[in-house]
Amino acid sequence: MQEQLYKSKSEKDTIKIGFEFAKEVKLGDVVALIGELGAGKTEFIKGLCQALSVEQLVTSPTFTIMNCYQGKINNQEVSIYHIDLYRINKVSELDEIGFDECIHSKNDIKLVEWADKAGNRLSKVDYKVRFELDEDNENVRQISIMNEFVR
């Protein structure tokens, strides 16, 4: 397991960290994003999607649970699923959105906010991105990117 640590001092920084991270992402990857409300998960995904040439508006799919964007990796068209589990109350609700099938499909990329809510249902994770707020500065975030190596 490999860990990269970043200190973000602004929303812009977080977007840039997401943008840079896109270079590591491969087809089929599941990226789990963990951190409290307002921690910067969606901003990070905005940068990541920008780097993957997504033209659609990237927003937290808090009410829809899942958004799908079209992007590109090495000039190849790819679907990017942006999932937000914040409103999930029971793990069984994941069945309604076809979560398992989605997580194991190989021809797209999955970005899962509040991934910790999926418990052991999130059986495949390639990267874990953790966001932590700062006690002293409301614009500072600690971001840790861990490569899970369970391919």
Query: By three-state DSSP, how is residue 14 classified?
Result: helix
Tokens of 41: 């998960």
Pick the piece of the chain touching ligand ADP (CB under 6 A) from 22-30, 38-46, 64-72, 98-106: 38-46
Contact call for residues 91 and 119 (beta carbons, < 8 A): yes
Q: Count other C-beta atoms under 10 Å from residue 113's C-beta.
A: 27
Q: Which residues bind Mg ion (CB under 5 A)?
A: 41-42, 60, 113
Q: What is the CA radius of gyration of the chain?
A: 14
Contact predicate 34/131, CB 8 Å: yes
Q: Residue 126 binds what, of Mg ion, ligand ADP, none (CB under 5 to 8 Å, by partner type)?
A: none
Interaction between residue 60 and ligand ADP (CB under 6 A) = yes
37 belongs to the binding site for ligand ADP (CB under 6 A): yes
Give the nearest distance from C-beta 133 to ligand ADP in angstroms: 9
Task: Choose among ligand ADP, Mg ion, none what residue 141 binds, the Cβ cut-off being 5 to 8 Å by kind.
Answer: ligand ADP
Residues in contact with ligand ADP, counted by CB under 6 A, come to a total of 18
Q: 39 with 132: CB under 8 angstroms? A: yes
Residues making contact with ligand ADP (CB under 6 A): 8-11, 13-14, 35, 37-43, 60, 113, 139, 141
